Amino acid sequence: MNRLFQRSLISTAVLGVCLGSAVSFASSHREAPFITKAPKVDGTDFYMFRSYEIGRENTVTLIANYLPLQDAYGGPNYFDLDQDAIYEIHIDNSGNAQEDITFQFKFTDVEQDLQLAVGDSGATEQVSVPLKNIGGIGPGPGDTGSVQMTQTYEVSVIRGDRRTGTAEKMMNTLDGSNTFIKPVDNIGGKSFSDYQGYAEEHIYAGAFSGCNGDVRVFAGQRQEAFAVNLGEIFDLVNTNPLGPRNAETNDLADKNVTSLALEVPISCLTGVAANSAGQPVLGGWTTASLRQGRVLNPQPMADGTGASVSGGAYTQVSRLGMPLVNEVVIGLKDKDAFNASQPMDDGQFATYVTNPTLPELLEILFAGTAVAPNMFPRTDLVTAFLEGVPGVNMPVGVTGSEMLRLNPAIEVTAFGMQNDLGVLGGDNAGFPNGRRPIDDVVDASLRVAMGALISDATVAPNNTAPFTDGVQVDPANLMVSFPYLNTPLPGAPN
Amino acid sequence: MYLVKTLGVLALSSLVLTGCLSGGGGGGNDSADGGGGDGGGGMQPTTFTALVQDIFAQTSDTAEPVDINALDITYDDQDNEDAFNDLLSQQ
């Protein structure tokens, strides 16, 4: 089949623009024009895997990361999430491309104006301080008397439609309330004597009706787990795509991110969706939504109306299931639309999957080395991104739609034995059967895009080529227990 | 052994993609207040100020967003800092 495109019109500058939007900091970060204006609701990565912490193998871990590219020293406000937003993790356990269960996180700012008496003796004035904290923090969640701004959150469990379904608030079994506390970001070693221990105190046991078993929840700052050779990728893939897998620099090595993490018994998530062997299959994705209207206040008042007011219905502005979809699959003009869309409407984006541009771009940039598969439509990518792997995580009768899919019946691979190429590397507990923090989704996706799922080498000459961005996730930067992502880097190391 | 190699060539008949060419967005229902839900063929005129007031009036945890694609919006009050004082005073 002839491929019709005018190579002569694709200048180096145009390619630079295309690739600049194609690959970004994380698997989906600042990838769409609108979301660059709203970093607090920018979903960067979504992980879903059968828990590999010893003794927790009967649970599934869900991790949604938001607010990318956190430099640890980013004071004085650091990286609170948006209390005017809702952050959601959706589960489709019926295979019909619609959510059956939604875990909705809603944050609340807790402010206390800390003041110091300043002035001559007998004539002091109480003056508000400019810093996040004026003393040590911790060791427990309640030890924040020196902090001016903290956050609490609630988790609603919604069955059915995410807006009109049956909702209940998850109970914090520690005190019977519906409130959980988000740890203050890792300001540094003088503010925290033991940040790791402090953060661990914010791992809560939760409960909701219809679920018997231990549920754990955590929301807070963690070290960025995604690894990518960002600078060179942006520079027209200025690297050897067939070079060593770990010869380049991880440009995210000094970043933090904010994680919303849940550990839920498998039995509390599964439904009727099952593969051809009768094993359950879960679909998952994360979204964030803002109120549709926002009015700026030209005269913000500390004790009155703040800098803005929001109103209207919640409007989705971020969506992430499978990694890298909005990064390297969806065209620039449709990235905002994708972020606002739902899996049940993914037919509108089908052409981006059946006729992908990334392989063509690689072929142009690496003429003579990279050869794009000559098969259209790319039914292999439809399977990878929209349906699941047959016999593994493809539900019988699946409604094609973009989301991460997990077969929780497949045994976990112990942390030290995990193959970061996942299924491509013979490790069926890894990507694209869900996604674990160790999984190198960039290398896996590059190889799949260039035909790794196409057995006929005459159709896909690069189907065994070991494409790579040259960076792997360092397992030393991960944990073997919930919430699996490492303690965040401190703003000051002392 | 790569399980994915068993995929081979997939029949198109097995491919089921849902969704027509909807506008995407947060849901399938238009909250037609001020929008094009009246069934008319043209764009429905409105002012930006009125649109914002309508959106705020529909504040709800269960509501669907207002579809603005069918609106012909006139940007009034571009120099009026007091245009939304009533909304600011409600907070």
The torsion region of residue A77 among left (phi > 0), alpha (psi -120 to 50) and beta comes to alpha
Nearest CB partner across the interface for A348, out of B5, B21, B91: B21
Q: Are A32 and A22 in contact (CB under 8 A)?
A: no
User: Are the Cβ atoms of A312 and B91 closer than 8 angstroms?
Assistant: no
CA closest to A290 among chain B residues: B65
- For residue A233, the model assigns a pLDDT of 81
User: How many structural domains comprise chain B?
Assistant: 1
CA closest to B51 among chain A residues: A293
Q: Is B78 on the interface with A (CB under 8 A)?
A: no
- For residue A197, the model assigns a pLDDT of 98
In sequence order, the β-bridge partners of residue A223 are: A256
- For residue A230, the model assigns a pLDDT of 82
The whole-angstrom distance between B37's CA and the closest CA on chain A is 17
In sequence order, the β-bridge partners of residue A50 are: A60
Compute the distance between CA of residue A285 and CA of residue B31 in angstroms, rounded to an integer: 25
Query: Looking at the domain assignment, is residue B55 inside a domain?
Result: yes
Query: Looking at the domain assignment, is residue B36 inside a domain?
Result: no
- For residue A85, the model assigns a pLDDT of 97
Q: Are A402 and A385 in contact (CB under 8 A)?
A: yes
Q: Is B84 on the interface with A (CB under 8 A)?
A: yes
Phi, psi of A247 (to 5 degrees): -95, -10
Q: Are A157 and A165 in contact (CB under 8 A)?
A: no
Compute the distance between CA of residue A272 and CA of residue A160 in angstroms, rounded to an integer: 14
Q: Which residues contact A270 (CB under 8 A, 6 or more apart)?
A: A93, A280, A282, A408
Domain limits for position B47:
43-59+70-80
Query: Looking at the domain assignment, is residue B90 inside a domain?
Result: no
Helix (H) or strand (E) holding A207: strand A204-207
Residue B34 pLDDT exceeds 60: no
Convert B16-83 into a string of H (helix), E (strand) and C (coil).
CECCCCCCCCCCCCCECCCCCCCCCCCCEEEEHHHHHHHHHHCCECCCCCECCCCEEEECCCCCCCCC
Domain boundaries in chain A?
3-99+223-477
Q: In what order do the strands lie in the sheet with A43-50?
A: A43-50, A59-71, A255-265, A215-223, A204-207, A171-172
Residues of B in Cβ contact (< 8 Å) with A455: 5, 7-8
The whole-angstrom distance between A295's CA and the closest CA on chain B is 7
Query: Looking at the domain assignment, is residue B64 inside a domain?
Result: no
Residues of B in Cβ contact (< 8 Å) with A291: 59
- For residue A123, the model assigns a pLDDT of 96
- For residue A395, the model assigns a pLDDT of 97
CA closest to A384 among chain B residues: B4
Q: Is B5 on the interface with A (CB under 8 A)?
A: yes
pLDDT top residue among A61 and B6? A61
Test mutation, A292, A294, A453, chain B, max B CBs within 10 A: A292
- For residue A321, the model assigns a pLDDT of 97
User: Are the Cβ atoms of B27 and A163 closer than 8 angstroms?
Assistant: yes
User: Are the Cβ atoms of B15 and A400 closer than 8 angstroms?
Assistant: yes
In sequence order, the β-bridge partners of residue A172 are: A177, A206
Test mutation, A156, A301, A338, A345, chain B, max B CBs within 10 A: A345
Q: Is B6 on the interface with A (CB under 8 A)?
A: yes
- For residue B41, the model assigns a pLDDT of 57
User: Are the Cβ atoms of A316 and B90 closer than 8 angstroms?
Assistant: no
- For residue A31, the model assigns a pLDDT of 84
User: Are the Cβ atoms of A391 and B3 closer than 8 angstroms?
Assistant: yes
pLDDT of chain A, 494 residues: tens digit per residue: 333 333 433 333 333 333 333 334 457 778 899 999 999 999 999 999 999 999 999 999 999 999 999 999 999 999 999 999 999 999 999 999 999 999 999 999 999 999 999 999 999 999 999 999 999 999 999 999 999 999 999 999 999 999 999 999 999 999 999 999 999 999 999 999 999 999 999 999 999 999 999 999 999 999 999 999 888 887 888 889 999 999 999 999 999 999 999 999 999 999 999 999 999 999 999 999 999 999 998 888 888 888 999 999 999 999 999 999 998 899 999 999 999 999 999 999 999 999 999 999 999 999 889 999 999 999 999 998 899 999 999 999 999 999 999 999 999 999 999 999 999 999 999 999 999 999 999 999 999 999 999 999 999 999 999 999 999 999 999 999 999 999 999 999 87
Residue A193's identity, in one-letter code, is S
Q: Is B62 on the interface with A (CB under 8 A)?
A: yes
- For residue B26, the model assigns a pLDDT of 33
Q: Is B75 on the interface with A (CB under 8 A)?
A: no
Query: Looking at the domain assignment, is residue B51 inside a domain?
Result: yes
What tokens does A183 get? 């740890």
The bridge status of strand A282-296 relative to strand A308-320 is antiparallel
Test mutation, B1, B16, B53, chain A, max A CBs within 10 A: B16
Query: Looking at the domain assignment, is residue B37 inside a domain?
Result: no
